């Protein structure tokens, strides 16, 4: 049952990511959880591909949000401008799959973390890497992989 395998992968990845984030006292373990769930896939290769896109979007969004926060006050128009810049840069850098993520990360930085934007961006990156890492590791668990069920051997 693919739906159950995918759900199990995401659940295990998220649980491990949050446990490790809390163990090392990262400030925003929710981002480790989000990273793990969003990139979980039945295919290890697809999980890595989704993880790379998520990582690129996180880096770009956090950087744009931090830069915007240096020069402009947190306001609705500033958030809109930051989202526009982050998403447009994603497209210009040939990373369309990272565009929406870059936009929302930028918006979060500007609206909620403008005073400590670089610190938030750093922790966001670490937590995202942790979540992606757990999803990639779990993607290699054979019992949770599609097509890896034991098949009877012919004698």
Question: Residue 144: its pLDDT value, please?
Answer: 54
DSSP notation for 70-96:
HHS-S-HHHHHHHHHHHHHHHHHTT-G
Q: Does some domain include residue 149?
A: no
Q: How does pLDDT run across 99-120, given as a tens digit for each residue?
A: 999 999 999 889 887 678 888 8
104 within domain boundaries: yes
Q: Are 70 and 105 in contact, with CB atoms under 8 Å apart?
A: no
- Eight-class DSSP state of 42: S
37 in a structural domain: yes
pLDDT at 1: 82
30 in a structural domain: yes
Rounded to the nearest integer, the mean pLDDT of the chain is 87
Question: What is this structure's pTM?
Answer: 0.78
Share of the chain above pLDDT 90, in %: 57
Q: Which residue has the higher pLDDT, 61 or 1?
A: 61
CB-CB contact of 47 with 5 (8 Å): no
Query: Which residues span the domain enclosing 67?
Result: 2-144
Q: Is residue 150 part of a domain?
A: no
Q: Confidence band (pLDDT; 50, 70, 90) for 34?
A: very high
How far apart CA 58 and CA 132 sit, in angstroms, is 12
The mean-pLDDT minimum among 20-34, 41-55, 74-88 falls in: 41-55
Work out the number of other CB atoms within 10 angstroms of the CB of residue 143: 9
On whether residue 105 sits in a domain, the answer given is yes
pLDDT at position 147 is 53
Query: What's the Cα-to-Cα distance from 50 to each of 22, 95, 119, 130, rounded to whole Å?
Result: 24, 12, 25, 14
Buried-exposed string 20-50: b where 16+ CB fall within 10 A, e elsewhere: bbeeeebebbebbbbbbbbbbbbebeebbeb
- Residue 17 inside a domain? The answer is yes
Number of domains in the chain: 1
Tokens of residue 104, six digits: 């929302």
| Domain-located, residue 154 | no
Residue 155: predicted pLDDT: 38
């Amino acid at each position: 049952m693919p739906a159950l395998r995918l759900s199990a992968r995401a659940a295990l990845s998220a649980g491990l990511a949050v446990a490790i984030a809390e163990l090392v006292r990262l400030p925003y373990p929710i981002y480790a959880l989000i990273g793990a769930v969003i990139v979980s896939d039945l295919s290890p290769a697809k999980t890595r591909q989704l993880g790379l896109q998520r990582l690129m979007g996180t880096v770009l969004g956090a950087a744009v949000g931090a830069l915007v926060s240096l020069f402009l006050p947190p306001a609705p128009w500033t958030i809109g401008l930051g989202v526009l810049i982050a998403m447009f840069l994603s497209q210009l850098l040939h990373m369309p799959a990272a565009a929406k993520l870059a936009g929302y990360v930028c918006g979060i930085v500007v609206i909620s973390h403008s005073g400590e934007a670089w610190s938030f961006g750093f922790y966001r990156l670490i937590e995202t890497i942790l979540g992606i890492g757990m999803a990639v590791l779990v993607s290699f668990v054979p019992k949770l992989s599609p097509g890896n069920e034991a098949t009877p051997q012919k004698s």
